[in-house]
Amino acid sequence: MSQVKIFKYSFVILAVVSVSAYTMSDRQSTQFQIKMQVIEICEIGAGGSSDIDFGTVTRNAQNVQATGSLNVHCTNGTPYNIALNSDGRLKHANDISIQIPYQLYQDHAMSKEWGNIADNRLSQQGTGETQNIKIWGNVPNANVPAGKYSDTVTATITY
């Protein structure tokens, strides 16, 4: 029986020493920073219906209208400008001296021309999501020889 008491007392003493050692331990802390830098970036690409196709028309067609689009993805809050660069003339496939003038516009009403000088670039702000930007086109007069006509437009984004 005396061995059992000694064991009980030893256990109690060990438990008290363990608790005191834990409560007397030192504690240290430090702080550190978490950082990230978000840079402004924009990407531009042809939209799903990017080509402006005026279709098939008769020789004396006037004010033929069509639309196309660009996809723009810019960092949220990033201001940007889009310039469209072309000479504004569809060229005949067999004779580039035969041309049809056309205009590109920023709006459905076709009141704001779209080009590559400061006054007629499209200005918007990024949303962080892909933005589908419409382009409206107009051919005032197609009084030219029959044939296929085309032109290439370069869209440039500046941010």
The pLDDT of residue 27 is above 60: yes
Distance between CA atoms of 6 and 8, rounded to whole angstroms? Answer: 5
Assess contact for 159 and 44: CB atoms under 8 A.
Answer: no
Look at 98 and 60; give whichever has higher pLDDT.
Answer: 98
From the list 157, 152, 135, the residue with the least C-alpha distance to 72 is: 157
The pLDDT, as a whole number, for residue 15 is 53
Distance between CA atoms of 95 and 105, rounded to whole angstroms? Answer: 27
Q: Which of 6-15, 25-34, 86-95, 108-117 has the lowest mean pLDDT?
A: 6-15
From the list 75, 82, 79, 66, the residue with the least C-alpha distance to 115 is: 82
CATH 3.40.640.10 fits 42-158, yes or no: no
Average of pLDDT values for 117-136? 96
Residue 87's region, left for phi above 0, alpha for psi from -120 to 50, else beta, is alpha
Q: Which of 1-10, 67-76, 123-132 has the lowest mean pLDDT?
A: 1-10
Domain ranges of the chain: 42-158
